[in-house]
Every structure is written in C-alpha cells, then in structure tokens.
Amino acid sequence: MQDYRRLFKYLKPYIPVVLGAAACTAVVTVCTLFIAPLAGYAFKAIGDKDLGLLNWTALGVIGFYFLKGLFTYGQEYLSYFVANRVIIDLRVQLYEHLQALSLDFYGRWHTGELISRMMNDITVIQNTILISFTAIVPQTVLLAGLLIYIFWLNWRLSLLTLIALPLIVQAIRMFASELRRISERVQQKTADITEHVHETVSQIRIVKAFTMEREESAKFRRENVKSLGIVMKAVQILSTQSPVIALLQASAAVGIVWFGGQQIIAGSLTLPQLISFATALGIMTDPGSTLSKAFTIFAQGMASVKRVFELLDIKPTVVNAPDAAALPQLRGAVEFRELSFAYEEERVLSGISLSVRPGEALALVGRTGAGKSTLVNLIPRFYDPTAGQVLIDGRDLKQVTLESLRRQIAIVPQEIALFHGTIRENIGYGQPEAGIAEITEAAKKANAHAFIAALPRGYETEVGERGAKLSGGERQRIAIARAVLRDPKILILDEATSSLDAETEALIREALEELMRGRTTFIIAHRLYTVEKADRVAVLEKGRLAELGPHRELLARNGIYKRLYELQFQPASGRQE
C-alpha cells in the first residue's frame, strides 16, 4: 500500500478534477440508492391499485436513471482525464530519470527490461488508476450507502447479510494476493520477451548471417509458452474466483429470502419492504461483482507499481557536487593523476598518471581489455574513478557541472549510431539552435556535403533506424560533421575498423585531420596511420600505463609497443600502404 499511496501523490496537481469526479460519483450513488425504495413503492401502488403513485414511481425511476447516466458520463470522463494525465507525468518522469542515470546502470540492466517497465508496466498502472476511479471508489461508496439503507429498512435481515459479507471479502483478498504474486512473474516474463525481440531485431544481420532464424524463433516460442503457463495460472485463479464469490452471494440471497419470508408470515415485515430490501441487495450484487474484478486488476497493478518505483528509486552514481561550478572555456589540458578504476570488483585501471597538453593528439593502444575505452570514458565523466583524479585545465572534474564539461567535448564512437530522422537533425544533434548554414559548413569540413547534396532530398533525407539507409563511410562522415558543429576543445575518437574503400577512407582521414586541428584529441587507435600522425602514443597493458612517447621513439625501445606494432599495425599497413 505504501507504493500505492506514493502513486496517488501524482494526483495533487489534478485535485480540482478529482473533486469534480467525486461530485459526479456522489450524484450517481444517490440516484442508485433511490431506485430500491421506488421499487417498493411500485409494488405498494400495484397492491393498493393506486395508478397515480404507480405513474409517479415509473417517472421517478426513469428520471433517476437519466440523471445517473448523465453524471456517470461526467464521472468516467473526468476519471479518464486524470488517469491519463497521471500516466503521462509518470512516464515522462521515468524517461527523464533514465536519461539522468549513469552509464554503469545501463551495463547492469537490459534494454528490453527498461522498455517493458516504461511501456507495459505503465499501461497496467493506468488501468489500475482507472479502475480505482471508475470502480473501486464509486462502487465502495454505493455499497456503503446501500448497507446504510438496508439497516434502516430491517436490521435483522441486514445482520444476516453481514454474516456472508466477511466471507466474500476474505475470498476476494485471498484471490487478489495470489494474483499479485503471479502478476509480478507475468510482467517479468513480458520483459524477457521484449528483450529477446529487441535484441534479435537490432542484430538481425548477425542472425541471418549465421542462419539462426529457426533457433531464435524456437527460443521465442519457448519463452512465449513459458509466459502462457504463468498466464494460465492467473486464469485458473480468475476462473475459480467468479463462481466461488457467486456461490457465496447466492447463498446469502437465499438465506435472506428464507428469513424475510418468515418475517412476512409472522407479520413483522411487509412484502413491499422485502421487495425494496431485495432490490437493494440486487443492486449490491453489481458493486460486489465489480469490486471483485476491480481488486483483481488492482492486485495486478500493484506488481507494476512496484516495478516502476524500483526504477525510480535507483540513484545516479555520477552527479554534480553541491558546490560544482560551471566550467569556463577550456584550453584543453588533461591530466590523469594516480588514477584507478574498477567495475564493481573488477579492476580495470591502476595508478595511471598522464598529462596531455592543449591541442595534443594522443593515441591509445593496447590489447583488448587493456582499459583504453575506460580511460577515455572518464574524461566526460561517464564514470568516476575509484581512486585518483581527472583534471582539465587544473580543475578536478568532480568540482565542475556535468553539462558545462560535456558541452566542450565531442565523441566520434567506433559504432556510429545515428538517430531515426533526417541528416540535418543528426548533424545538428546536441546543437538544436544551429541553422542550416552552420550544418552545411560542418558537413563540408567533414567531407559529407557532396554525397548529401547528391541525395534527392539533400539534408532532409531520412537516415532510417540507426542510419540503415546510409553506408558505413557516410555514417562516419555525418558523425564527424556532428562533432565539427559542436566545436569542442577536447575530442575523443574511437577509430573505426570497418572495411572502407580507399577513396572513402581518404575522405574520412582528411575530415578527421580537419576536426583534430587545434583540439586536444584522444584516439583509440586501430591503424598505423593514426599512431604515426599522433603526437604521442600511450601504451596500456593490463590497466597500467606501460609506455608513453612518439611512435618512432617507442619503436626504437623494442618493448611492448614494438610487439603490438608487429602484431596489430604492421600487417594492416602491409595491405593498405
């Protein structure tokens, strides 16, 4: 219930609308309550052969049903408005929260799981809020009103009714508790299936290349069959719940008619009174049945509420310090001071001390897992070091705001990821205020303007999902243009290893040289050309800085770099140069 109370805090901005829905609920309840005594008056009119009373009773029933319908519309309209507004607020908050979380979070959570919680669980919560407004609250009020009325009518019959009521309530609670437990498993399995779809669709080329379509389909079928097994357990509970509660209700009704019949025979109760009582009980079966189903949905919703708030309660590990200051215009001097870093228990970097001058190009080389990517990821504070410091222009990065730091850094990753949209939007990503003239100039410097201008729609060409409509070389040049437009003082390049034709590679090299000019550049190097052009080369070995110096000087030392050169770079140069 704590999670549910927390959920309803999102209602505060919409209290006037909630009060409007409550007012409509009150009118609907009053109209429904008047129907039971009117039924008694109708039978009295028939028994007394009073045509006038019968006419007024008939008009009264129609009038109250008309008012009930009118205010039911208002109640449902306002309830749906509030529920949808709350869900929008919650979904936006969850999305903003995911954007604020640090990269280490995304290393632990699957994308499909996050999508499932944002879409599937939020939808379930929406249904939970709706059922609360349109069923639980109004039907509970109606049930309370009917109970007051039947006690006023005949307290002996009402006590008999209350003997059955706790049994019905307890049955509902038992079914709801079991459904909540199963619903958590259903939602988790839904997240697993979503993750499988996301993974296989995003990696469809690999699936097809390794002819794994049949195996992936079989795996998907197995996951859905497992999901069906869990869902059918919920269906078993639902299918058992309805007849059990119906049996309890029918038993109560039979008992009441039997006891009421005895009272009529004894003369302590009239037939119109019994008719009114029975009508009230008949009306009570509807809120009773509705509440039974509503609490089932409520129990399922609580599982989703728990899953969403579990995400919202996760705190980012990289945040601005309370006294963080905005970073002024950089010169670009970067220093790693006794730097160490570990992913949970796995140490990746140890005791690295390294200074990079403004405008210097530093190539980072080393075997896979040596820590190259981790080192450059510490510069924009994607992670914080476990020990030691990263300083830019002498300032500890933990003492400056993240936004002011990252706005002066540009990254061209190895895996070029473009967003669904136009070429113009992708080049201007991160610089929304940039006009087409600035975007075009950036594209020219990235050697991308010529191929863009040749496209039928030019800069308004849609790139497709992750840039699928463009070649690898075209995607790289758009990524370079994006970095050019940002005009950073610090540049991070993860040199691409994809096969490119000689002409495209020359264009990209020229664009990168233009981009690097006058900027402090860190390059995770995969090619001989890069290490030869860099001012210095840093060699990482098992998370430590093993060697540092210009390319030719390191070759002359005949050490680790020389061996890496012979294994990694020399064969490549033999093919390319």
**Which H or E run includes 206?**
helix 204-209
Distance of CA 546 to CAs 265, 371, 430, 474, 538, Å?
Answer: 104, 12, 36, 36, 8
Q: Which of 308, 357, 279 is nearest to 44 (CA)?
A: 279
Residues in CB range of 449: below 8 A, 6 or more apart:
440, 443
Report the phi/psi class of residue 180: left, alpha or beta, with left for phi > 0 and alpha for psi in -120 to 50: alpha
How is residue 410 written in tokens? 């540009």
**Which H or E run includes 421?**
none
Residue 134 DSSP code: I
Give the pLDDT means over successive 10-residue stretches in the chain (577 positions).
76 89 86 74 72 80 86 88 88 89 84 83 84 77 77 74 68 72 77 78 69 80 83 77 71 73 75 71 67 73 85 90 90 93 87 93 89 91 92 93 90 81 88 89 89 91 83 86 89 70 77 85 83 89 91 88 78 41
At residue 500, the pLDDT reads: 63
As a three-state string, the secondary structure of 428-470 is: CCCCCCCCHHHHHHHHHHCCCHHHHHCCCCHHHCECCHHHCCC
Longest CA–CA span in the chain (Å) reads 120
Amino acid at 360: E
Count of CB atoms situated within 10 Å of the CB of 137 = 18
Read off the pTM: 0.72
Q: Which domains does the chain have, with CATH numbers?
A: 2-312 (1.20.1560.10), 359-380+415-576 (3.40.50.300)
How is residue 22 written in tokens? 């409550």
Distance of CA 243 to CAs 171, 234, 238, 267, 480, Å?
Answer: 11, 15, 9, 36, 67
How is residue 26 written in tokens? 């009150």
- CB of 17 within 8 A of CB of 10? no
Distance of CA 383 to CAs 318, 349, 373, Å?
Answer: 6, 12, 11
Count of CB atoms situated within 10 Å of the CB of 382 = 17
How is residue 293 written in tokens? 């189903």
Cα separation, 439 vs 449, in Å, equals: 10
Cα separation, 381 vs 186, in Å, equals: 37
Cα separation, 518 vs 287, in Å, equals: 74
CA-based end-to-end distance of the chain: 69
Q: Which of 414, 396, 375, 392 is nearest to 495 (CA)?
A: 414
At residue 572, the pLDDT reads: 43
At residue 105, the pLDDT reads: 86
Q: Exposure pattern of 401-424 as b/e (b: 16+ CB <10 Å)?
A: ebebbbebbbbbeeebebeeebbb
At residue 573, the pLDDT reads: 41
